[in-house]
Structure 1
Amino acid sequence: MENQPTLKRSLTLFQVVFLGLAWMTPMIFFTSFGISYESSKGMLTVAYLLAFLAIFFTASSYGKMAKAFPVSGSALTYITKVMNPFIGFLVGWVILLDYLFSCIIANLMFGINLHAQFPSVPSYIWIILLDIVLMVINIIGIKTSANISKLFVCIQIAFIALFCILVFHNLLQNDTSVHLAGPFAMGDSITFSTILAGASIICFSFLGFDSITAMAEETINPKKNIPRAIMIIISVAGILYFSTSYFLQLAYPELKFSNPDTAGFYVANLVGGKILGSIFTTVLVFAVFTQGLSSVATVTRLLYVMGRSAQLPKKSFGYLHPKFRTPVFNVVLVSVISLLGLFISLDTCIKFVNFGALTAFMFVNLSVILHYFIKEKRRTLKGIIAYLVSPLIGAGFIFYLLTLLDKDSLLMGLSWLALGLMYSLYLVARKKKRALVKEQENVTVTVE
């Protein structure tokens, strides 16, 4: 029997970090600036600090589970191993919403931004072009994706650094006195609950750290490097977001803009004029490209794990190309699905992503408690804090975020979950039928 091809273990720690940052997209600070600023009533720095602290506990839970089960599959694998395959499949099915629609969002954003830059070229041309490019790169291999992601993530970080330098320069040019504690000062009309509501929205700026767990089998020493990469990713993102919001609030304590959707572009022009505004648009296109690149890599690995375990048709979803050692069928399928960006709205995509991500986050936090605290009985003082208190805090905040989802998000998410439930019941029925047929065949052979 010929050896079946396996995923190629070639990713270093920092290549994984850049893939995660590419999925997260540091430029999301600007694309979500308007809604983040308004929802936190201008207390952006405090809201980002609270959001980081809140997401830290869930990121820590992912790191603990990646250490316990250093294989691909992310939440699907963890829940399957710790709870049972049925619940694991449903969680994996739900997280497909997050990963699949992230690919569609990348296509949509790419088309929207380039059409705005080149109005004579229809957005669907850009969407189709990006879709083809992402498909080819992901077929060639994960290391190619990681190297490209590294370049474009560095460009994003360089832009954010330039932005902060210009803000600081404008601050020095300002004759008025500067209060270093100003960004933390709450006005009489602002309550802590208001800032917390803003932080709950800002938490979505940190989504993406979990995506790298789907690449564990392509990572060198995943038991050590995946947990490290998770903490590096959220730490880098936290520093970038916090420092940018802090300097911006110091220099411009009161900002007003007419359209929250274009507030990031407005702020870029305010700080650096039209030149920085033009650079902003270019870097944003790079950011969307790398986000799409990482999203396709993540979802195709999840589909591969589901195919390998026969939760999806194994012959197609569990197939790896013998030369590239990549899940080619999954890459092509995801590329076709991503063309929904030609027809679906951005708002609908975001609702699917939110439901899928938060559901997976909730179950991963609970799986830490079940695996370490209950099954392995790690109940020292350190164990209680690490394996009970920390994941409970993470689960509690994620549950709070779930309650903030609107009715459309819940309806669409639950409808997808119901579809997955029906499919999983079909798989169970088919498995029982095959077992019965095999038993009958064995009985017939015995009688003969």
Structure 2
Amino acid sequence: MIPLSPRQNVARPPTASGHAPEKGLKRVLGVPSLVLLGLVYMVPLTIFSTYGIVVELTNGRLTDAYAVTLVVMLFTARSYGRMARVFPAAGSAYTYGARSFGAGLGFLTGWSLMLDYLLLPMINYLLIGIYLNAAFPAIPAWVFIVASIAVVTLLNILGITTVARANIAVVGLQGIFIVLFVAFAATSLSGGPSVDFLAPFAGVGKDLGISPIFAGSAILCLSYLGFDAVSTFAEEAKDPRRTIPRAIMLTTLVAGLLFLGLAYVSQLVLPVATFENVDSAALEVVGRVGGDLFVALFIAGYIAGSLGSALTSQASVSRIIFSMGRDGVLPTRVFGRLHARLGTPVIPILLTSAVSLLALVLDLATVSSLISFGALVAFSVVNLSVIKHFFIDRKERGAAATLNSLILPGVGFALTLWLWTSLTGQALILGVSWAAVGLAYLAVLTRGFRRPTPQLDLEGAGA
């Protein structure tokens, strides 16, 4: 299941005195609670979304790819934490880019992130089609995809977004599944021949270069989407300027170690680099560990989680599109209106559903790479924002300041750029094309850059 998209309207910054607004939410969340909320957004079983794709791409070195991605993300998470300390508000990379480099770059950053937001529901529908078709081969995958889109769209139009809260229970069930998975895997390994515990790092086959690992790592960036959602709980956090940065780092580290552990155990159980069906390769691993009954349990939990995630992500992106219409970034008459009786943004919801129908023609690898493209744009901007805000604008100097405000975010940016160039050529072409459309639209919107860039108020865009 793909990670949930962050809340858009939860957090409001403290007042100049450092206290919450008079009618703000209670500050009750400490670091452990914030980390748990971050993990809920990232979803533990997201590793199985692109399992087969990355295993085949890296020649069986999924664990290595996750290790590389974790290192990159720790640098980037640190940059997110530093910016969240200065701007503890919703909007994340969009806000940091706009505050550091101006509204124009903020707009283009938000535009790139829109690619992620629009594709997040789609990847859930793709996964639903893939796994249900594997369970019921007589029914084409497109039937499940269309049915899922119809159900989720109807629920969102009716405004039943509270169903998304069931994702917390789903994540709990996934936690139980992970414990059983590891326990069954240990039993399976102990009863078989001797195990090569270095096999998940060594790979399968010959001519194992390093470039496939980075290509796999670039795709795996989508596993970390949502780690910055911790920053949207600033109003409910105790001492947010201290706890939020710590929670962001810890969330990234804990999730990364969880992904690493699951990848390692999976490769120990099934040390191969090819599968019968690359998109549903997780079923082969789960079947090897626990048999058909365990596969059925996995499919049930995975489908339930994917439906809940699709519901939440479609609700989120439709409200962002509505907010863009309300603020004049998109045509107000079309996108900036709510249904008179239901009070929901019907046209943005239908637009998101229409985009999701591309799941009928796009494959999982392409969609995953495109989502990672948008994520890497955001990660790059946040790393650069730290350098711009602290080192250039504030002119912080000295050994410690140079390390914290120039070297570390610079390394984070360089590593992110490396992963960016490791994406497939198709993903780069489509991603750059999307960015070019955004730039052209911005030129039209500002009458050739002669008018101010409209700014998006994400604080009012929540589901």
Q: TM-score range by the shorter chain?
A: 0.7 to 0.9
Q: Would the alpha carbon gap of residues 95 and 214 (structure 1) be closer, same or farther in structure 2, given more than 3 Å must change?
A: farther
Verify the 8 A CA contact 2:373 2:420 in the aligned structure 1.
yes
| Structure 1 unaligned residues grouped into runs of 5+ | 1-5, 435-448
Separation (CA, whole Å) in 2 of partners of 1:74 and 1:403: 24
State the match for 2:77 in structure 1.
59
| Match status 1:207 vs 2:197 | no
State the match for 1:411 in structure 2.
429
| Match status 1:371 vs 2:356 | no
Separation (CA, whole Å) in 2 of partners of 1:63 and 1:141: 33
Separation (CA, whole Å) in 1 of partners of 2:378 and 2:451: 31
For residue 279 of structure 2, the aligned residue among 261, 281, 284 is 261
State the match for 1:157 in structure 2.
175
Separation (CA, whole Å) in 2 of partners of 1:355 and 1:396: 15
* Correspondence list, 1:271-290, <5 A: 271-290=289-308
Q: Would the alpha carbon gap of residues 151 and 141 (structure 1) be closer, same or farther in structure 2, given more than 3 Å must change?
A: same
Q: What displacement does 1:114 show? A: 2.4
- Aligned partner letter, 1:293: L
Instruction: State the number of aligned residues.
Output: 427
Q: What displacement does 1:306 show? A: 3.7
Q: What displacement does 1:220 show? A: 5.8
Q: What displacement does 1:97 show? A: 0.9
| 59-68 or 359-368, which deviates more | 59-68
* Correspondence list, 1:355-394, <5 A: 355-394=373-412
State the match for 1:425 in structure 2.
443
Q: Would the alpha carbon gap of residues 92 and 271 (structure 1) be closer, same or farther in structure 2, given more than 3 Å must change?
A: same
Q: What displacement does 1:191 show? A: 6.1
Q: What displacement does 1:371 show? A: 1.0
- Aligned partner letter, 1:46: D
For residue 115 of structure 2, the aligned residue among 88, 92, 97 is 97
Q: Deviations over 1:40-77 (max 9, x none)?
A: 33344333222211221122222322332222223222
User: Structure 1 vs Structure 2: percent identity of aligned residues?
Assistant: 34
Verify the 8 A CA contact 1:41 1:190 in the aligned structure 2.
no
SS of the residue aligned with 1:356? helix
SS of the residue aligned with 1:261? coil
State the match for 2:53 in structure 1.
35
For residue 210 of structure 2, the aligned residue among 193, 201, 204 is 193
Q: What displacement does 1:126 show? A: 3.3
Verify the 8 A CA contact 2:82 2:386 in the aligned structure 1.
yes
TM-score of the superposed pair, with normalisation by structure 1:
0.79
Q: Would the alpha carbon gap of residues 184 and 433 (structure 1) be closer, same or farther in structure 2, given more than 3 Å must change?
A: closer
Which has the larger Rg?
Answer: 1
Q: Deviations over 1:370-428 (max 9, x none)?
A: 01222123334333233222211221112112222233222222222222122111121
- Aligned partner letter, 1:275: L
| 411-420 or 75-84, which deviates more | 411-420
Q: Would the alpha carbon gap of residues 433 and 234 (structure 1) be closer, same or farther in structure 2, given more than 3 Å must change?
A: closer
Separation (CA, whole Å) in 1 of partners of 2:447 and 2:212: 49
Separation (CA, whole Å) in 2 of partners of 1:347 and 1:32: 8
Q: What displacement does 1:432 show? A: 5.4
SS of the residue aligned with 1:379? coil
Separation (CA, whole Å) in 2 of partners of 1:227 and 1:325: 36
Q: Would the alpha carbon gap of residues 379 and 179 (structure 1) be closer, same or farther in structure 2, given more than 3 Å must change?
A: farther
State the match for 2:3 in structure 1.
none
| 404-413 or 21-30, which deviates more | 21-30
Verify the 8 A CA contact 1:109 1:288 in the aligned structure 2.
yes
| Structure 2 unaligned residues grouped into runs of 5+ | 1-7, 12-24, 453-463
Superposed CA RMSD in Å reads 3.9
Verify the 8 A CA contact 1:77 1:88 in the aligned structure 2.
yes
Verify the 8 A CA contact 2:60 2:203 in the aligned structure 1.
no
Verify the 8 A CA contact 1:142 1:297 in the aligned structure 2.
yes
| Match status 1:399 vs 2:417 | yes
- Aligned partner letter, 1:207: Y
Separation (CA, whole Å) in 2 of partners of 1:262 and 1:415: 30
- Aligned partner letter, 1:212: A
Q: Would the alpha carbon gap of residues 414 and 199 (structure 1) be closer, same or farther in structure 2, given more than 3 Å must change?
A: closer
Separation (CA, whole Å) in 1 of partners of 2:438 and 2:372: 18
Verify the 8 A CA contact 1:76 1:88 in the aligned structure 2.
yes
The structure that is helix-richer by fraction is: 1
- Aligned partner letter, 2:382: V
Q: Would the alpha carbon gap of residues 215 and 119 (structure 1) be closer, same or farther in structure 2, given more than 3 Å must change?
A: farther
Verify the 8 A CA contact 2:128 2:306 in the aligned structure 1.
yes
- Aligned partner letter, 1:396: A
Verify the 8 A CA contact 1:138 1:296 in the aligned structure 2.
no
- Aligned partner letter, 2:445: L
Q: Would the alpha carbon gap of residues 262 and 118 (structure 1) be closer, same or farther in structure 2, given more than 3 Å must change?
A: closer
* Correspondence list, 1:166-177, <5 A: 166-174=184-192, 176=194
Separation (CA, whole Å) in 2 of partners of 1:286 and 1:15: 24
Q: What displacement does 1:103 show? A: 1.5
- Aligned partner letter, 1:242: L
TM-score of the superposed pair, with normalisation by structure 2:
0.77
Separation (CA, whole Å) in 2 of partners of 1:288 and 1:402: 27
- Aligned partner letter, 2:229: I
Q: What displacement does 1:217 show? A: 8.1
State the match for 2:261 in structure 1.
243
Q: Would the alpha carbon gap of residues 409 and 180 (structure 1) be closer, same or farther in structure 2, given more than 3 Å must change?
A: closer
For residue 249 of structure 2, the aligned residue among 231, 238, 254 is 231
Q: What displacement does 1:96 show? A: 0.8
| 96-105 or 123-132, which deviates more | 123-132
Verify the 8 A CA contact 2:156 2:349 in the aligned structure 1.
no
